[in-house]
Chain A
Amino acid sequence: MRVVLASAHRYADLARLWYRFVARDLAPALRATGAGVEVVLFRDAAPDAFDPRHFPGATLLAPGPFARDFLEFYDAALQREGDVLFLLDADLFVLDGAWAASFLARFTDPSVAAVSLLRRTEHPGVYALLARSSAYRGLPAPALAPSYEGLGTAVPVNRQPGDCAAIALRSTGLEILDVPASEAEGRVSDFHGTTVIRASREVFGASLGPRFDALLSEKPYFAMGAYDNLLLGELHRAVFGAPFAPDANGVHLAGSATEESLRAALSRVSDRKALARFLAYADRSNRAAAGLFAKEGLPFAPPRLLPRPRAWGARAWGIARRVAGRPD
């Protein structure tokens, strides 16, 4: 069996961290099953920023006619020589390589089209998807692209990458196995929105000026991405001794949000529900980060972004809402 492990990255520092875990834990575990493994990194925006010495053994690709951006890359990766395409998100880390590799055995069953190690939405997506290449290649191209259905109707549906393929394959009777979240807990470290906030600051941060930082207190997804970058940045700095998500001046995290700017943004959040949700999210991220730090033999201490009484108050309020059956 030949496995193509493919991932698209916009930022070289995150890619370097991601590849450290892949090269040390995941790829060897896949090879230990007897599989041949090719690791393919798509450098989505600034290919020259990726130092090839940081990715020994990997195939580094750049945008071109075969894949103009990261979403087209998914289908391009499907065309590479292999039996299983293992798509893994840029901010997703497999801590237990042997566990992930064990799912290759499921492909001895011809009715299995894919195994999803992590689902974030209704459908399996492509976050951590082991896909039988022949099954996906049999779909109309582009098989893995996102799309809209029902444009012009009252309720258009936005299909995420991989959704249409999953629906089509399941409709033919093939199976896509969803690994339960409880089984993946502790074996996969999952972060969210880490690239979105950096790309957003890159594309329109300068034109918004100070207004950009205000978005951290208004848009939960930005705050979550910023928080996850804080955690990953701490690990990156400890492991590589280099700043993470720097701005043009090289300031650590200024290309995302510094700890100070995130703290200031959270101090402006007056909505208790929003604050409770953020803290619940941060707890989840802390567990994910603790796994990464433990793998590196490093101590982990979550950053304290809120005064303790305020954090306790928001947490207590969130718990009370959940107990009352009104989590949102």
Chain B
Amino acid sequence: MTDPAPAALVLERGEFRHQEKFGPGAVNRGAVLLECTWDGGVFESGVMLGGVFRSGTFRGGVFLGGVWLSGTWVAGDWEHGFGPDGAYRPRTDHP
């Protein structure tokens, strides 16, 4: 049995990213992402502010105003956002 591969990119508390794309190797541990695309990594904490969640796992943090296309919602605060059909999903109505 082998240990899981280390994350290629760890975003930390205090970081602010704008209009960037993060892939499967990314882990968010507290950064604020404004209008970014999340595509495959693990969102542990921090804030997804607008932007698009394409794939990956949301384990904690705040989802606020973005579009959820696909992925796995485990835990976190769904403030509000939009589902894959474009429909509005209000506070607590997470995927």
Contact = CB atoms under 8 A, between A and B. Distances in A.
Interface in A189-207: 200, 203-204, 207
B16 A149 contact: no
A73 to B, nearest CB: 9
B91 A207 contact: no
Contact of A204 (B47, B67, B92): B47
B13 A207 contact: yes
A307 B90 CA distance: 44
Chain A: number of interface residues, binned into ranges: 20 to 34
Q: Which of B32, B47, B69 has the most CB of A within 10 A?
A: B32
Interface string A58-91: 0000010000110110000000000000000000
B37 to A, nearest CB: 13
Interface in B21-47: 30, 32, 46-47
Interface stretch (A18-26, A140-148, A257-265, A320-328): A140-148
A151 B86 contact: yes
B90 A68 contact: yes
Interface string A133-159: 000000000100111111110001000
Interface stretch (A101-109, A112-120, A208-216, A280-288): A208-216
A203 B88 contact: no
Contacts of B64: 203
B88 A146 contact: yes
A207 B32 contact: yes
Contact of A151 (B15, B67, B80): B67
Chain B binding site: helix, strand, loop or mixed by DSSP?
strand
A63 B80 CA distance: 13
Interface string B63-95: 010010100000000011010111110111100
Interface residues of B, number: 25
B19 to A, nearest CB: 12
Given A68-B90, A71-B80, A149-B86, A204 B14 contact: no
A148 B47 contact: no
Contacts of A203: 47, 62, 64, 79
Q: Which of A149, A150, A204, A211 has the most CB of B within 10 A?
A: A204
9 contacts: A68-B92, A68-B93, A146-B88, A148-B86, A150-B86, A151-B67, A151-B86, A207-B32, A208-B16
> Ordered nearest first, which 3 A-B pairs have the shortest CB separation?
A148-B86, A69-B91, A145-B88
B84 to A, nearest CB: 7
